[in-house]
Amino acid sequence: MQSNYTVTGMTCGHCVASVREEVGAVAGVTDVAVDLATGRLTVTSDAPVDEGAVRAAVDEAGYSVEP
């Protein structure tokens, strides 16, 4: 399964790495792809992942997910 989000506030590769690390730690997530240019976050998992947990992980990294 894949879920897509738009992350705001990222400006560099370190930002991307922070988001990837935090979201990758969410239970059930098997892969995380982040596109700095578009802010697109793609979360891959074997089963549905709690959207709130993904949003919290992005927040923990210091960024926001667009509603």
Range of the domain at 31: 2-65
The predicted pLDDT at position 15 comes to 97
What is the model's pLDDT at position 22?
98
How do residues 33-43 score in pLDDT, each as one tens digit? 999 999 999 99
Provide the whole-model pTM.
0.94
Question: Averaged over 2-29, what is the pLDDT?
Answer: 98
**pLDDT, average across residues 18-36:** 98
Q: Which CATH number goes with the domain that contains 44?
A: 3.30.70.100
Count of domains for the chain:
1
Contacts 24+ apart (CB under 8 A), 33-38: 34/7, 34/10, 36/10, 36/12, 38/6
Q: Which helix (H) or strand (E) holds 32?
A: strand 29-35
Report pLDDT digits (tens) over 48-57: 999 999 999 9
Contacts of 17 (CB under 8 A, 6+ apart): none
